[in-house]
Structure 1
């Protein structure tokens, strides 16, 4: 897979090829073609790796996560809460981090009692439990 490193540096290629990916338990260890020693690795420390989504073999769960990002979340009582900006996985259930202008950051537990309608596209309907929204905003 060919990826871009950003920000680009003047003394190295902007693009490189992923040779291997190893799950270390704490994250993934990615090996790049041409990055064979500590000096070369230090040169790309702090860079972001940009890849084309179509280059990944996503299982249905991974695809579902990425498809949720940016979707609007609307509560039956409070109206629009904002959009999903992050999905946190917890032992009990996933939690959507929703950010909006009116209520700021709202954490939505992804459970049957809260998520009322989750269509393939468009707005997601929820019933926010008491105490999850800071009404002082």
Structure 2
């Protein structure tokens, strides 16, 4: 059985002369890159392995400095700029409400009582929780707080089932 992969971060730029790069998690995800992980770098390049090991990680807050097994010089690091980092799904732990924003846009949202609400068109970050902006359904624009009693889980594909509280839409 082949492993499933998940896009978890992107290489922003080279950092220093020893092959380190600065990476940022994809919007909506925490930093998931850890030493010892085997990851895939995409797009692949002819002059490096597609699958590499994360040798070191230094968390810098919103970003991290990462050293991959394929990178030992500034030239190697610069060649990684713009690459996406994919991890084996079994190597990462996400709670049921964590998903990259890119995975949510255009997903259908269905309320348990009201039926289709439309599609996610935007994800707003707030200090308390994310808020999905839903549009294209019978209720016009609907704002849904991403909290466990409204959104119990986010499946990898297909519609997302929610149970919105009274007062969020005009019926």
TM-score interval for Structure 1 and Structure 2 normalised by the shorter chain: 0.5 to 0.7
Q: Does 1:50 align with 2:86?
A: yes
**Any conservation in 1 of the 2:58–2:66 contact (CA below 8 Å)?**
yes
Aligned length: 122
| TM-score (ref. length: structure 1) | 0.64
Where 2:163 maps in the other structure, the secondary structure is: strand
Deviation of residue 14 (structure 1)? Answer: 1.0
| Structure with bigger RCO (C-alpha 8 Å, 6+ apart) | 2
Q: Given the superposition, is the C-alpha separation of residues 116 and 107 from structure 1 closer, same or farther in structure 2, using an over 3 Å criterion? A: closer
| Runs of 4+ residues deviating >3 angstroms | 69-73, 82-89, 98-101, 103-107, 115-122
For 1:19-63, what per-residue CA distance to the aligned partner results, in whole angstroms no more than 9, with x for missing partners?
12221012222221131211000111101111112112x3xxx32
**Any conservation in 2 of the 1:3–1:16 contact (CA below 8 Å)?**
yes
**Any conservation in 2 of the 1:73–1:83 contact (CA below 8 Å)?**
no
Aligned partner of 2:111 in structure 1 is 74
- Aligned partners of 1:88, 1:11: CA distance in 2, in Å? 39
| TM-score (ref. length: structure 2) | 0.53
- Which runs of 5 or more structure 2 residues have no equivalent in the other structure? 1-36
- Aligned partners of 1:11, 1:44: CA distance in 2, in Å? 11
Q: Does 1:94 align with 2:129?
A: yes
Deviation of residue 96 (structure 1)? Answer: 3.5
| Structure 1 or 2: more helix by fraction | 1
Deviation of residue 4 (structure 1)? Answer: 0.7
Further displaced range: 18-27 or 115-124:
115-124
Q: Given the superposition, is the C-alpha separation of residues 116 and 55 from structure 1 closer, same or farther in structure 2, using an over 3 Å criterion? A: closer
Q: Given the superposition, is the C-alpha separation of residues 52 and 36 from structure 1 closer, same or farther in structure 2, using an over 3 Å criterion? A: same
Deviation of residue 95 (structure 1)? Answer: 1.9
**Any conservation in 2 of the 1:74–1:124 contact (CA below 8 Å)?**
yes
- Aligned partners of 2:40, 2:140: CA distance in 1, in Å? 33
